[in-house]
A and B are shown apart, each in its own frame.
Chain A
């Protein structure tokens, strides 16, 4: 009895309503601290091979000897093709593969993005497994140009040599497809789209030769020129578009083979000198999160991952003593492991954060941090909803009144079955919520995001820079303009602005928690950048606070974040926009959708709240 009445009394307690902001802040802090704890040994785990069939490094590799001479010759041939026309190049590469006894085909592709034509030609060859039944295949990729734009001399030559070498073996249980893509990102995308007969633009040719279901793909990037260059380490890329990752088993197999069988060190996320300290682990993880959050294509392998084909790219880095034959043996051993697969790679993790080549955190450990950050919005949203239903002046009266006055407050007896409770009448007062304006405002804010989204994806290259600056300026003053415009007709009440913020945070919390399960990093990054939105309020009769809030919100607006980030990493903003447009049109990247349809509307709603509290509006 007493418990119920005390809870009923607590329900509308003033003190209870003071808790949510602190709770929100606590959630954010715990979420961020949680993330920082992950690199510690207590929270991370050593990687291990989960799929027993892979048996990494259990086979002898025979690639070497006279194959080295063939490799050198092919490298000279590749060097001879630099500067030749695309057709001539495809012809020559196709001839070499045909000479090895493989079935060769080519595929032309052309994409038209941002007024630029991205075109090229893929050459690929199928090594039909002698005992295989054409139901499964693995892919070896060497793009003509590496991600850095260099010619992939040794990578392509290695692929050609391996094709010739692997043809002699009769143990292939799957077909092996050798793909030399015209470039490192659009080419593989065009090829893998055509392989699965996805919806293609007419400018992408369908494939004439196909094999079975793809089980894995490994890309090689080794740009050493015709005279060779010994490398130090292998840099393994594993993240695909939209932050999807390849199966951890594939990554582990590559690391295991390279480091244990061949003695080649492995690095990731451009941490070329990783000493396995806390700071370096944290940095690796954060770099991985930025890559995942951007959701862009990081290499030739990225396009395969959305099709549930696990793929990695091996890049050579540094100056060391490992040569092309070592890399060749790694690839040979890796394909022998993939050849062992009885089932599609499924055993190990698909959702993980790597801290070092042999240390990782699994989703169960890291997911709560993004969820906590997302939950902070929901908590604030609930608080705002409750607040919006309370009469504004009564709360003021109670807070302003003396303690003596509050004792004379009207009390009401509530009976529910046998329970009886005595509560102050003021807490039971309910104000009707006027929902139309807030809902319309939130809907409009979301539709507003479509405009920049469309403009950025469909404008020619030379317009992008002015467009970006214009959009930055407009989006920054847009809340003020909108607020002024709305105020011309009708000044929104305090309740309406509270509801606007409530709905906006409700959607933001919902989207981010759902997104955290799909793309953890994107959800976390946007969540952290949007944290101020759950703490801004419309504060009438104040000048300093609203101004301060405006400054903070300006700094965390999507456009300002993009500007600051590009400046910090010395990246051209036009490149960023070009990548984004390519991402939307070619790779099927959803990051922009999240930015413009989740983050921007939330920011816009938050900024509007602050602007309405500015004097004169």
Chain B
């Protein structure tokens, strides 16, 4: 409860800053939050606005033209794109930094509201959108075809303000690529969309080496129309976020020597109270009780190169760097120019305002802390796994745990399954087990499934779309299971790369009941993706056969073709050609010339 209170205290001012469109059209903010086990959450947020009229007239200033034109061409009214790697460790790191509203599941996820008259038209526009975005972001988004596209019913709501009349013609389409590996080639186009392009401001911290060495990392792009309540002109807001959890120890390793070799004996902190420590050759390593020392330069490989001059220079929006540490934690600022520090009331949040131009670095020395930063706790924990073994069938088990002792949580569970994974809906079974004995009697839920939306798969045309409205009582665990069959693919349907199995997209969980979840962004949770091994032929066999037959054909063809095109000359004829070499060549030419003249002579006679 205390955590929740502190969390609201702590995050409220942050979020208030984003609530309305400020005077300026570009905002950026970095939130740093040290996490347990020497991890560090760095949450970058960039927002740029453009007025609807300027957008319609293709008058792009802060809004990137490349993306804007794609949106206009495909009639996309609202767009959400996620690139993620790794997984969020909710047990140690607490709730997601944006409550899941800006974080994606493993791989790439895209959903958008397209304006179209019919479903076919929406599909065609969606195809254009995925293909153009694929080019823009160097991702395989073009592989989001009809088999990977669903039209969610309950899981997503438009974030932006759309008029009632336009809502009816908006189509929501959602596609995922769980196997897409996000890497530097996706970061570069992402940076290009920013006004300061990674040259100044907080985006200057982006270094592919550090960013993609993170334990968890997600990038998102959200475009939505925002119409102020006072009736003034609507604006189009583009929000880009990059969230990552860095391992401080790992990030601090120098680039020349990134190998984590065993440390020197002197560096080990040993427990000297052990009876064997007297022998001198044994060391029971102790856990470091103090917070590790780190600085922005060490963790990100470079300092912040001043502020982006396009951003707000006054007001709360100008506090571009915030760090979430206990009040007694010492934070040194290394910069040659002026800066201002602002501590928020509860003391757990400090924000800094940067000046133009000069390098800015934060340094946190080694310090033993008495109070830990309270971490916001998640409302739900979710884990999903494939059970069973063999090539024929299996079952999926999703375990969703509600840690709250007081409030039940309603949520929507969305599964988008590939067509070759064929679930049996009659085996869908949800059971609730209470972790505390007292709740077992009071919160006896007969069937936690309140509502089911199911669209079965069609082989090779569309995947399964399953949406469930569920409710989990306080302090209990909901186990959702269903069985499935594995289809046998045609051999051309296997991807050309090494076949480790097929990835199943993460399940999306949308929280409905707690108050915070009612915000326009919503609160989400995503499980990890699954690996679905399918019966796979040994592809080396056909290739062996192809290679062997090709060799045989080449040999056969060569030996037949060779005598066919060769001119055979008898041995005695060869001798008449005479000696080789230059001398022979000249002599042959000469004799031919002589012969020609001789023949002319005979003709004339």
A346 to B500, CA, bound (A): 10
A377 to B498, CA, bound (A): 45
Chain B 303-323: CB-based contact to A (< 8 A → 1; otherwise 0) = 000000000000000000000
Chain B 232-256: CB-based contact to A (< 8 A → 1; otherwise 0) = 0000000000000001011000000
Whether the pair B531, A77 counts as a contact (CB closer than 8 A) is: no
Q: Which of B264, B270, B383, B540 contacts A210 (CB 8 A)?
A: B383
Contacts of B263 in A (CB 8 A): 65-66
Whether the pair B261, A65 counts as a contact (CB closer than 8 A) is: yes
Whether the pair B283, A342 counts as a contact (CB closer than 8 A) is: no
The reply on B603 being an interface residue by CB < 8 A is no
Whether the pair A73, B500 counts as a contact (CB closer than 8 A) is: no
Q: Which of A72, A103, A165 has the most chain B CB within a 10 Å cutoff?
A: A72
Whether the pair A196, B87 counts as a contact (CB closer than 8 A) is: no
Contacts of A53 in B (CB 8 A): 498
A169 to B253, CA, bound (A): 11
Whether the pair A73, B287 counts as a contact (CB closer than 8 A) is: no
Contacts of A132 in B (CB 8 A): 86
Whether the pair A73, B276 counts as a contact (CB closer than 8 A) is: yes
Number of interface residues of B (CB under 8 A): 59
Chain A 300-317: CB-based contact to B (< 8 A → 1; otherwise 0) = 000000011000000000
Whether the pair A65, B285 counts as a contact (CB closer than 8 A) is: no
Whether the pair B262, A62 counts as a contact (CB closer than 8 A) is: yes
Interface residues of B in 366-398 (CB under 8 A from A): 383, 385-390, 395, 397
Contacts of B281 in A (CB 8 A): 68-69, 72
Contacts of A347 in B (CB 8 A): 540
The reply on B550 being an interface residue by CB < 8 A is no
- How far in angstroms is the closest Cβ of chain A from B539? 10
Q: Which of B260, B274, B390, B530 has the most chain A CB within a 10 Å cutoff?
A: B260
Chain B 73-116: CB-based contact to A (< 8 A → 1; otherwise 0) = 00000000000011101010000000000000011000000000
A132 to B178, CA, bound (A): 12
The reply on A11 being an interface residue by CB < 8 A is no
A164 to B263, CA, bound (A): 12
Q: Which of B282, B385, B529, B533 contacts A133 (CB 8 A)?
A: B529
Interface of A is mostly: loop
Interface residues of A in 566-582 (CB under 8 A from B): none
Whether the pair A134, B500 counts as a contact (CB closer than 8 A) is: no
Contacts of A67 in B (CB 8 A): 262
Chain A 184-220: CB-based contact to B (< 8 A → 1; otherwise 0) = 0000000000001110000000000010110000000
Q: Which of A62, A66, A128 has the most chain B CB within a 10 Å cutoff?
A: A66
A116 to B214, CA, bound (A): 50
Interface residues of A in 208-267 (CB under 8 A from B): 210, 212-213
A346 to B397, CA, bound (A): 27
Whether the pair A99, B389 counts as a contact (CB closer than 8 A) is: no
The reply on A135 being an interface residue by CB < 8 A is yes
Q: Which of A76, A136, A341 contacts B282 (CB 8 A)?
A: A76
The reply on A42 being an interface residue by CB < 8 A is no
Whether the pair A134, B247 counts as a contact (CB closer than 8 A) is: no
The reply on B207 being an interface residue by CB < 8 A is no
Whether the pair A197, B395 counts as a contact (CB closer than 8 A) is: yes
Contacts of A68 in B (CB 8 A): 281
Nearest B residue to A209, CB-CB: B383
Whether the pair B260, A168 counts as a contact (CB closer than 8 A) is: yes
Whether the pair B37, A101 counts as a contact (CB closer than 8 A) is: yes
Whether the pair A133, B389 counts as a contact (CB closer than 8 A) is: no
Chain A 42-64: CB-based contact to B (< 8 A → 1; otherwise 0) = 00000000000100000000111
Whether the pair A344, B501 counts as a contact (CB closer than 8 A) is: yes
Whether the pair B264, A66 counts as a contact (CB closer than 8 A) is: yes
A540 to B37, CA, bound (A): 86
Contacts A165-B262, A210-B383; A135 near B530 (Cβ below 8 A): yes
The reply on A368 being an interface residue by CB < 8 A is no
Whether the pair B259, A197 counts as a contact (CB closer than 8 A) is: no
The reply on B268 being an interface residue by CB < 8 A is yes
Contacts of A134 in B (CB 8 A): 87, 106, 528-529
The reply on A131 being an interface residue by CB < 8 A is yes
Whether the pair B260, A73 counts as a contact (CB closer than 8 A) is: no
- How far in angstroms is the closest Cβ of chain A from B88? 11
The reply on A595 being an interface residue by CB < 8 A is no
The reply on B572 being an interface residue by CB < 8 A is no
The reply on A277 being an interface residue by CB < 8 A is no
The reply on A21 being an interface residue by CB < 8 A is no
Whether the pair A130, B215 counts as a contact (CB closer than 8 A) is: yes
By size class, the interface of chain A is 35 or more
The reply on A170 being an interface residue by CB < 8 A is yes
Interface residues of B in 265-310 (CB under 8 A from A): 265, 267-268, 270, 274-277, 281-285, 287
Contacts A53-B498, A63-B262; A130 near B247 (Cβ below 8 A): yes
Interface residues of B in 514-534 (CB under 8 A from A): 528-531, 533
- How far in angstroms is the closest Cβ of chain B from A67? 5
Contacts of A131 in B (CB 8 A): 85-86, 212
The reply on B499 being an interface residue by CB < 8 A is yes
The reply on A343 being an interface residue by CB < 8 A is yes
Contacts A130-B215, A135-B528; A344 near B533 (Cβ below 8 A): yes
Whether the pair A197, B387 counts as a contact (CB closer than 8 A) is: yes
A198 to B498, CA, bound (A): 29
A308 to B536, CA, bound (A): 14
A77 to B284, CA, bound (A): 9
The reply on A70 being an interface residue by CB < 8 A is yes
Q: Which of A64, A165, A212 contacts B531 (CB 8 A)?
A: A212
Contacts of A128 in B (CB 8 A): 87, 89
The reply on B213 being an interface residue by CB < 8 A is yes
Nearest B residue to A213, CB-CB: B531
Interface residues of A in 252-291 (CB under 8 A from B): none
Contacts of A344 in B (CB 8 A): 500-501, 533
Whether the pair B386, A213 counts as a contact (CB closer than 8 A) is: yes
Contacts of B361 in A (CB 8 A): none
Chain B 55-74: CB-based contact to A (< 8 A → 1; otherwise 0) = 00000000000000000000
Whether the pair B37, A62 counts as a contact (CB closer than 8 A) is: no
Contacts of B91 in A (CB 8 A): 103
Contacts of B536 in A (CB 8 A): 346
The reply on B538 being an interface residue by CB < 8 A is yes
Q: Which of A64, A69, A77 contacts B268 (CB 8 A)?
A: A69
Contacts A65-B261, A73-B276; A136 near B538 (Cβ below 8 A): no
Q: Which of B86, B268, B385, B530 contacts A66 (CB 8 A)?
A: B268
A307 to B275, CA, bound (A): 44
The reply on B358 being an interface residue by CB < 8 A is no
A196 to B91, CA, bound (A): 23
Whether the pair A72, B282 counts as a contact (CB closer than 8 A) is: yes
Nearest A residue to B271, CB-CB: A73
Contacts of A343 in B (CB 8 A): 498-500
- How far in angstroms is the closest Cβ of chain A from B588? 56
Q: Which of B388, B499, B531 contacts A196 (CB 8 A)?
A: B388
Contacts of B249 in A (CB 8 A): 168
Nearest A residue to B279, CB-CB: A72
The reply on B145 being an interface residue by CB < 8 A is no
Whether the pair A136, B387 counts as a contact (CB closer than 8 A) is: no
- How far in angstroms is the closest Cβ of chain A from B186? 14
Q: 9 A-B pairs, CB-CB below 8 angstroms?
A: A67-B262, A69-B268, A73-B276, A130-B86, A134-B87, A198-B388, A308-B390, A342-B498, A343-B500
Could you list which residues of chain B lie within 8 angstroms of chain A, going by C-beta atoms?
37, 85-87, 89, 91, 106-107, 178, 212-215, 247, 249-250, 259-265, 267-268, 270, 274-277, 281-285, 287, 383, 385-390, 395, 397, 497-501, 503, 528-531, 533, 536, 538, 540
Which 8 A-B residue pairs are closest in the complex by CB-CB distance? A197-B387, A135-B531, A342-B498, A72-B282, A65-B262, A168-B260, A134-B528, A73-B284
